Amino acid sequence: MRNIKLIAQNKNASFNYFIEETFQAGIELTGTEVKSLRNSRCNIKDSFVRIKNGEAFIINMHISAYEHGNIFNTDPLRTRKLLLHKYEINKLQKAMQLQGYSIIPIKIYFESSLAKIDIAIAKGKKLFDKRDDIAKKDMRRDAQRNFKISNLYIK
């Protein structure tokens, strides 16, 4: 059984994108960044993945400075390398070349003692797609509310 501790999740990802395929990647971190992650001091909301020279990097992932890290703290927004297999990087690179596709982080977590990140190949939603999702969510919420109210009066 996997021992997973969730650190951060990109809740806007499913609202702003159609998620096509997900991958699990390791992250190359320094010691103070790992300690800061253990305190859940991370933000992946505005981050994205780029492929450079056959290597994957995550850009704009904010890991706050560790309070007791003094001179060993690094830049919170530094570019970090992702640890993926070569065939996964090739698949990501082919998807990046298609129009409208991007690679975004979904969530970051600890699996056992290793920091992992789930990234996804995603296609951006248009405004009418987002409105449609909001309408579906409202209808689902109203149906649940009506069902709950009707069950209260039956007893």
**Residue 83 sits in the same domain as residue 142:** no
Query: What local confidence, expressed as pLDDT, does residue 154 receive?
Result: 60
CA distance 69 to 134: 43
Residue 12 sits in a domain whose CATH number is: 2.40.280.10
Query: Euclidean distance between the first and final Cα of the chain, in Å?
Result: 42
The token pair that represents 136 in the structure block: 């579906």
pLDDT, tens digit, 9 for 90 and up, residues 54-63: 899 999 988 8
In Å, how far from its chain's centre is CA 17? 12
Q: What's the pTM value of the predicted model, to 2 decimals?
A: 0.76
3-state helix, strand, coil in the chain (%, to 5): 35, 35, 30
DSSP 3-state assignment of 147? helix
> Does residue 36 share a domain with residue 12?
yes
Give the 3-state secondary structure of 38-69: HCCCEECCCCEEEEECCEEEEECCEECCCCCC
pLDDT along the chain (155 residues), means of 10: 81 84 90 85 88 91 82 80 92 85 90 90 81 86 82 63
Please give the residue range of the domain that contains residue 115: 4-124
SS3 category, 126: coil
Asked if 16 and 90 sit in the same domain, the reply is: yes
Whether residues 17 and 86 share a domain: the answer is yes
